[in-house]
């Protein structure tokens, strides 16, 4: 039983993605990520000296500031900041620059569903643009669960509100290996099975959750291809500017 989505997508289809890096001049790294109508702008200021009082000075720390489109900063924004911070802390290599703070500032330009995944993707691209050392990239996606048990990817705001439950998943990006298959298979399998972050809203059964996880994993391989392609060519255009 298929459910019609308002914009004509099928349940496994994502909205068109677009990512542009280096959009701001003052920030050390910046990226703008759009999924359909949802658009988020992220900026990164590279390692600054000193950490906050309650942070461990033996490691680098990540500070996240979430700016909503309009209104005061409330609990929802604080929650997003916390999730984003923990996610980014797990992908950055924190031991390289101890006792420093990297600030990530996220500005919501338009919210049409799947806002937190969009922000995570934008922050990841901005970190790459700033040259912060990362273990691997993170790819985030939103899966929602309809009453019938159907799992749909990348809902719009209206769909999110109607659904029984939805979950934001952040997975590591897929590995592109130059080594022969056998040697990377063991490690590769562990990596690909990993789940960095998962935030659920609403009630879902364990089976439904695992189903969402599978679908999300399948979709992120496409997204990580997109991300990889997008992050590469910028270098050649920069060198042409210098020349």
Partner 1 sequence: MEQRLANAWRMTVNEKKFIESALVSGLRVDGRNLYDYRKLSINFGKEDGSAEVHLGQTRVMGIATSQLVQPYRDRPNEGTLSIFTEFSPMADPSFEPGRPGEFAVELGRVIDRGLRESRAVDTESLCVLAGKLVWAIRIDLHILDNGGNLVDAANVAALAALSTFRRPECSLGGENGQEVIVHPPEAREPLPLIIHHLPIAVTFAFFSNESTLVVDPTHQEEAVMAGRMTATLNTNGDICAIQKAGGEGVPQSVIMHCLRIAATKAADITVKIRDTVEAYNTERALRKIKRHSAPVALDVSGTVPNVRKNQVKSEDQREVSGSVGTQVEKLKPMNERKNSDQSKDIEGKVVTKSLEQGGTNSKDGNPRSFIGGPSSWDPYSRGVDWDFLKLSLASRETSKFSKKQKESQSKKSTQQASPKGSAEEMKAISPATESAKIASQTHGEKTLKDAVKPKHKRKKKAPSAVDGS
- The binder of partner 1 chosen from 58, 69, 78, 193 (CB under 8 A): 69
Give how many residues touch partner 1 by CB under 8 A: 52
Angle at 223 between CA 217 and CA 227, to 5 degrees: 135
- Looking at the Cβ atoms of 37 and 234, the one nearer to partner 1 is 37
Structure tokens at 121: 């993707």
- The binder of partner 1 chosen from 22, 89, 109, 234 (CB under 8 A): 109
CB atoms within 10 A of CB 63: 17
Selected range binding partner 1 among 6-14, 87-95, 168-176, 197-205, rule: CB under 8 A: 6-14
**Binding letters toward partner 1, positions 111-150, x by CB under 8 A:** ----------------------------------------
- Looking at the Cβ atoms of 126 and 190, the one nearer to partner 1 is 126
**Selection from 118, 108, 116, 123 nearest residue 31 by Cα:** 123
12 binds partner 1, rule: CB under 8 A: yes
Q: How many CA atoms lie within 13 A of 31 on its CB side?
A: 25
Selected range binding partner 1 among 67-75, 84-92, 116-124, 202-210, rule: CB under 8 A: 67-75
- Looking at the Cβ atoms of 74 and 180, the one nearer to partner 1 is 74
Residues 146 and 160: their CA atoms lie apart, in Å, by 9
Selected range binding partner 1 among 10-18, 83-91, 177-185, 186-194, rule: CB under 8 A: 10-18
* DSSP H or E stretch at residue 10: none
180 binds partner 1, rule: CB under 8 A: no
224: Cβ contacts below 8 Å, ≥ 6 apart: 137, 139, 173, 174
Could you give phi then psi for residue 239, rounded to 5 degrees? -65, -30
- The binder of partner 1 chosen from 56, 67, 162, 179 (CB under 8 A): 67
- Looking at the Cβ atoms of 9 and 83, the one nearer to partner 1 is 9
211 binds partner 1, rule: CB under 8 A: no
**Selection from 48, 173, 174 nearest residue 105 by Cα:** 48
- The binder of partner 1 chosen from 88, 92, 94, 105 (CB under 8 A): 105
Number of H helices, E strands in the chain: 6, 9
Residues 31 and 221: their CA atoms lie apart, in Å, by 21
Long-range own/partner contacts, residues 236-240 (CB < 8 A, 24 or more apart)? none
Per CB under 8 A, residues contacting partner 1 are: 1-2, 4-18, 20, 24-27, 30, 34, 36-37, 41, 43, 45, 48-50, 65, 67, 69-71, 103, 105, 107, 109-110, 153, 156, 218-219, 222-223, 225-226, 229-230
């Amino acid at each position: 039983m298929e459910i019609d989505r308002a914009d004509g997508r099928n349940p496994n289809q994502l909205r068109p993605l677009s990512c542009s890096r280096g959009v701001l001049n003052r920030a050390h790294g910046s990226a703008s990520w759009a999924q359909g109508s949802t658009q988020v702008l992220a900026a990164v200021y590279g390692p600054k000296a000193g950490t906050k009082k309650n942070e461990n000075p033996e490691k680098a720390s990540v500070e996240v500031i979430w700016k909503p489109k309009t209104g005061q900063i409330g609990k929802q924004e604080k929650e997003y900041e916390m999730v984003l911070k923990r996610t980014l802390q797990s992908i950055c290599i924190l031991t390289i620059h101890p006792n420093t703070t990297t600030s990530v500032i996220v500005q919501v330009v338009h919210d049409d569903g799947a806002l937190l995944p969009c922000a995570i993707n934008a922050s990841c691209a901005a970190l790459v643009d700033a040259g912060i050392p990362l273990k691997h990239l993170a790819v985030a996606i939103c899966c929602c669960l309809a009453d019938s048990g159907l799992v749909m990817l990348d809902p719009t705001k209206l769909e999110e509100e109607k659904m029984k439950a939805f979950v934001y998943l952040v997975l590591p990006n897929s590995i592109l290996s130059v080594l022969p298959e056998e040697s990377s298979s063991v490690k590769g399998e562990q990596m690909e099975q990993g789940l960095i972050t998962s935030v659920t809203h609403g009630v879902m059964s364990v089976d439904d959750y695992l189903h969402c996880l599978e679908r999300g994993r399948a979709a992120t391989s496409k997204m990580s291809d997109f991300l990889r392609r997008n992050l590469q060519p910028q270098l050649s255009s920069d060198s042409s500017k210098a020349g």
